[in-house]
């Protein structure tokens, strides 16, 4: 990606982070996080949980977003390999998703190739239904339409592989992942590709 494209995406996101609705959300989070909820089983809760495909964005966009949020005083969690237990999401990671007030999935070209990412996103959408958690997607080099239709376009090959794998491993819940992705159209988020192109 050209440096100018990356800079434009960062500018677009900075404008989004300045959105009064997000700031209100974040202020509400900060003021309420110390009171009503019990202490997390695996440590403190977080205001924001970031879900991303490391190979696509960890050392670039995600690092920028993480740093920007931290600099703005937002308590952010991004996962690392230590929380991964084989093919399953470890209890610590599930706990951190559930105890976050806002989840931000960063959809990128290889997001759907990761079972981890899909499990995280499905968990976020469950938390949205059960606990009214806010989910704010970022579409990085993919469009909302591509994410919403995982068996077509950019995610088709990865999703086809998951379908095949699910025949051998019942823990791979392709139906749940598909349903979660299909709901992307109901979420307000940032389409960085379109915003930087026009």
- What is the torsional sign of CA 9, 14, 59, 192? negative
Count of CA atoms in the C-beta half-sphere (13 A) of 55: 8
Residue tagged active-site, from 120, 164, 183, 195: 120
| Rg value, the chain, Cα | 16
Question: What does DSSP assign to residue 106?
Answer: E
Tokens of 171: 């823990």
Q: Which H or E run contains 8?
A: helix 3-17
Torsion angle of the four alpha carbons 138, 169, 84, 145, in this order, in degrees rounded to the nearest 10: 0
Angle at 188 between CA 183 and CA 192, to 5 degrees: 105
User: Catalytic site residue 120?
Assistant: yes
- Is 143 within 8 Å of 194 (Cβ atoms)? yes
What residues are annotated to the active site?
A: 120
């Amino acid at each position: 990606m050209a440096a100018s494209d990356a800079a434009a995406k960062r500018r677009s996101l900075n404008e989004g982070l300045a959105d009064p609705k997000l700031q209100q959300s974040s202020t509400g989070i900060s003021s309420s996080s110390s009171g009503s909820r019990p202490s997390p089983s695996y440590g403190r809760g977080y205001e924001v949980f970031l879900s991303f495909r490391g190979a696509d964005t960890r050392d670039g966009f995600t690092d920028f977003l993480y740093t920007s949020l931290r600099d703005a005083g937002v308590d952010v969690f991004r996962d690392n390999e230590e929380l991964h237990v084989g093919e399953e999401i470890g209890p610590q990671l599930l706990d951190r998703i559930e105890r976050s007030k806002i989840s931000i999935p960063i959809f990128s070209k290889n997001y759907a190739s990761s079972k981890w990412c899909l499990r995280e996103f499905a968990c976020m959408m469950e938390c949205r239904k059960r606990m009214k958690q806010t989910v704010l997607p970022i579409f990085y080099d993919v469009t909302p339409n591509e994410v919403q239709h995982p068996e077509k376009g950019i995610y088709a090959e990865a999703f086809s592989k998951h379908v095949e794998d699910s025949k051998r491993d019942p823990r791979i819940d392709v139906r749940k992942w598909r349903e979660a992705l299909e709901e992307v159209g109901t979420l307000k988020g940032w389409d960085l590709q379109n915003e930087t192109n026009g």
